[in-house]
Chain A
Amino acid sequence: MIKYSLITLLFSLLLGVYTPGTAADVASGEDTSGPFIPKAQRRFSEEQGCVEPTGEMRANHMEYILDQRDATVHEGIRTRQYSLQECINCHVSDAEDAPRVDNEEHFCSSCHTYAAVSIDCFQCHADRPVKSRFDSLSNSSMHRIGSAAVPPTTLDSEQLKVLSNEDFGNE
């Protein structure tokens, strides 16, 4: 528990450093003195660009990611809305020559460099979208758990009658 409160404290400290910058940005509208933040690759929905309003995300994105992180690692909750992987999928280009996180033009680095807040997410996490190798597998029944080939000899006559009904061919 102490660990978590320490982390929260750290984040709130970071937030303290970070907020004045964004507040100035918002107040002056088109402030050219702020960092250049690359446009996202796509919108989250028709109504809004990001998963929460932009101001909320600028101030509190780390809270969302932190909550999601524990839910995913420990409980296997893999909703996409607040996952770091989805942040990257939207905000970073998958082009081969797209800037990496050590480059100021990377979405995360652009602001974090400006605010002088170092992040260590990408020491472990992918800093750009990578097509998952197992994406193509999800439709293949051979790779599904429980897709076991059970010898047909174990079926009794009643089950075989059910099997002959082709209505059950589709999942």
Chain B
Amino acid sequence: MSEESNIDIYRRRFMSGTATAAAGLAVAPGVMLTEVARAKPADQAVSSDIRWGMLIDTNKCNEGCNDCVTACNEEHNLEGFGRPATDAQWIRKVTLKDKQTGNIQTLPMLCQHCEHPPCVDVCPTGASFKREDGIVLVDKHICIGCRYCMMACPYKARSFVHEKLQDQMPYSPRGKGTVESCTFCVHRVDEDILPACVVACKEENHNAITFGDMNDPDSEISQQLKQHSSRQVRADLELNTGVRYRGI
């Protein structure tokens, strides 16, 4: 079955699940407009009814594939200055090798968008914050560049901009002297579009990354989390991360 018709089936199934049989048929077109195309109105604030999350299936993540990283760098215009130690990196590929068996796994590591983010705890100015819908961001207007958050993050997810930048993307302002990290492509998510890395992975037909609302029991991510075992990286820290991994 083609991609397109699967989507239609999903939508119809969702609709039929929410409406009662007869009445549902009568109001179905209206219901679909409001329920499925659920991008929030532009003038409405985000709410905690939603918690955005990501599930990464490491079994589908190919060694040597860097598409998610490339897509992120392109989307946010993260150019390098030939200094790998300090160049901005919002998502990176990590390789795990089992020394005993020689088994190699790779996975993308990015901001885990924790429910209890240590970066927010330590920020002295309130620049590091968590949006109502669970996305952890830096308000660069307030950031003073102290980099406490970079120290606090157990995932090494944040970067500091050391250089004067030019030609930033309009939806992704970045500047010297501030800390930055993965935004879950918040400019896309607010428009109901998947983050750049997820799209890149989908387009290559790897489908290793699932993105969605973890608060919605019917969302694909919730269904997958329910059906399969998954792990949080450093679950012992009890940060309740928004990024989960399968197969590690």
The size of the chain A interface, using a CB distance under 8 A, is: 46
Instruction: Identify A171's interface contact among B37, B193, B212, CB under 8 A.
Output: B37
A152 to B97, CA, bound (A): 37
Instruction: Identify B186's interface contact among A71, A76, A132, A141, CB under 8 A.
Output: A76
A8 to B205, CA, bound (A): 51
- Cβ contact within 8 Å between A148 and B10: yes
A85 to B171, CA, bound (A): 8
Residues in A whose Cβ lies below 8 Å from that of B132: 75
A95 at the interface (CB under 8 A from B): no
A71 to B165, CA, bound (A): 25
Q: How far is the CB of B147 from chain A (nearest CB, A)?
A: 17
A residues 113-171 with Cβ under 8 Å of B? Answer: 123-126, 129-130, 132-134, 137-138, 141-150, 152, 155, 158-159, 162-163, 165, 167-171
A residues 41-90 with Cβ under 8 Å of B? Answer: 69, 71, 73-80, 85, 88
B142 at the interface (CB under 8 A from A): yes
Q: How large is the interface on B (under 10, 10 to 19, 20 to 34, 35 or more residues)?
A: 35 or more
- Cβ contact within 8 Å between B171 and A132: yes
The closest CB in chain B to the CB of A137 belongs to B193
Residues in B whose Cβ lies below 8 Å from that of A149: 3, 6-7, 10
- Cβ contact within 8 Å between B220 and A125: no
A165 to B25, CA, bound (A): 10
**What are some 11 contacts across the A-B interface (CB < 8 A)?**
A77-B45, A132-B171, A134-B187, A134-B188, A134-B196, A138-B193, A142-B199, A145-B192, A147-B10, A162-B12, A163-B9
Q: Which residues of B contact A (CB under 8 A)?
A: 1, 3-4, 6-13, 15-16, 21, 25, 28-29, 32-33, 36-38, 40, 42-46, 74-75, 125, 129, 131-133, 137, 139-142, 164-165, 167-171, 173-176, 178, 186-194, 196, 199, 202, 210-213, 219-220
